[in-house]
């Protein structure tokens, strides 16, 4: 943005944010903590947009994206928001909905079941082969005004699964998935109304066993069958903007 002459301002909710060191960051504003005080954070953002005209607001991570979407009607009259529509958010933020979409368009998916209570524990332990992927339906869950950051976990046996479910089910439903060895593949897209403008693929050379951010990646040719599945998903959502579709391959 800066290289194209766009003036960039940064709103941060932590003492130090790396982007404030950029030569292109013209102004930095301190906001309340979005995780602990989402309503105060939204109020600060709204006040900033009312104080000065902005062309575009880009929430960079989930803890900013969710409150912006929740307060869409208040904020949209003040600036253009780089956020998905309600359907796009639902099907990309909630993992159960993402899987529903993937299956609907024929994208490859692991065996998955949603668990809402411990009543399903014994059946899952009988029908699935361990280890199992334990995946909260959302990575960020708000209980009242408190945000809980959740992560993908790996259950090695029945007792381990029970322990993890007891903890996670107090916050949200959980997806149980069969474990597949392979490398993590991410396909990145820039689209307009679901039509691809640009596409790129990276392979995760190293990543945590239970999932999460990888520390070492390399660019790679697009795998055609995965690319086609990704495009079908983005087209179904009429997605506009950037997106990444992840696979274990």
CA–CA gap between residue 27 and residue 20 (Å, rounded): 8
Report whether pLDDT(35) > 90. Answer: no
**Range in 34-38, 70-74, 197-201 the model is least confident about:** 34-38
- pLDDT surpassing 80 at residue 169: yes
Q: Is the pLDDT of residue 240 over 60?
A: yes
- Looking at residue 194, its pLDDT comes to 96
DSSP 3-state helix, strand, coil percentages of the chain (rounded to 5)? 35, 30, 35
Which residues, at least 6 apart from 193, have a Cβ–Cβ distance to it below 8 Å?
A: 238, 239, 240
Tell me what the mean pLDDT of segment 231-244 comes to.
Answer: 97
Length of the chain, please?
A: 249
Q: Would the pLDDT of 181 be above 90?
A: no
pLDDT at residue 56, rounded to an integer: 97
d(CA 176, CA 174): 6
Domain boundaries, the chain: 2-83, 111-178, 181-248
CATH superfamily label, 111-178: ATP-grasp fold, A domain (3.30.1490.20)
Share above pLDDT 70 across residues of the chain, in percent, rounded to a whole number? 97
CA 104, chain centre distance (Å): 20
| pLDDT tens-place string over residues 99-158 | 999 999 999 999 999 999 999 999 999 999 999 999 999 888 888 777 788 999 999 999
pLDDT at 211 over 90: no
The pLDDT value recorded for residue 177 is 96
Instruction: Produce one character per residue of 19-54: b if its CB has 16 or more CB atoms within 10 Å, e if not.
Output: eeeeeeeeeeeebbebbebbeebbebbeebbeeeee
State residue 212's pLDDT score: 59
Beta-carbon contacts of 42 under 8 Å, excluding residues fewer than 6 positions away, are 67, 68, 70, 71, 74, 75
Tell me whether the omega of the peptide bond preceding residue 36 falls within 30 degrees of 0, making it cis: no
- pLDDT above 90 as % of the chain: 81
Radius of gyration (C-alpha) of the chain in whole angstroms:
20
pLDDT, one tens digit per residue, over 46-93 is: 999 999 999 999 999 989 999 999 999 999 999 999 999 999 999 999
- Which tens digit of pLDDT belongs to each residue from 67-78? 999 999 999 999
Rounded to whole angstroms, the Cα distance separating 166 from 161 reads 9
């Amino acid at each position: 943005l800066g290289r194209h002459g766009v003036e960039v301002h940064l709103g941060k909710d932590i003492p130090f944010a790396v982007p404030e060191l950029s030569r292109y960051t013209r102004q930095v504003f301190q906001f309340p903590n979005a995780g602990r005080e989402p309503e105060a954070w939204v109020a600060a953002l709204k006040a900033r947009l009312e104080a000065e005209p902005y062309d575009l607001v880009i929430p960079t991570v989930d803890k900013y994206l969710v409150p912006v979407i929740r307060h869409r009607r208040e904020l949209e009259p003040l600036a253009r928001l780089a956020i998905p529509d309600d359907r796009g958010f639902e099907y990309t933020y909630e993992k159960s909905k993402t899987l529903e979409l993937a299956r609907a368009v024929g994208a490859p998916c692991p065996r998955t079941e949603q668990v809402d209570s411990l009543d399903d524990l014994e059946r899952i332990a009988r029908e699935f082969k361990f280890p199992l992927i334990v995946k909260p339906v959302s990575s960020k869950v708000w209980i009242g005004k408190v945000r809980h950051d959740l992560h993908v976990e790996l259950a090695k046996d029945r007792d381990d699964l029970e322990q993890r479910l007891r903890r996670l089910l107090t916050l949200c439903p959980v997806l149980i998935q069969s474990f597949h060895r392979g490398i993590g593949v991410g396909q990145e897209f820039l689209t307009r109304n679901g039509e691809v403008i640009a596409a790129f693929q990276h392979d995760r050379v190293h990543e945590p066993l239970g999932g999460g951010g990888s520390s070492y990646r390399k660019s790679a040719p697009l795998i055609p069958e995965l690319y086609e599945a990704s495009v079908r998903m983005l087209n179904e959502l009429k997605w506009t903007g950037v997106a990444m579709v992840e696979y274990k391959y």
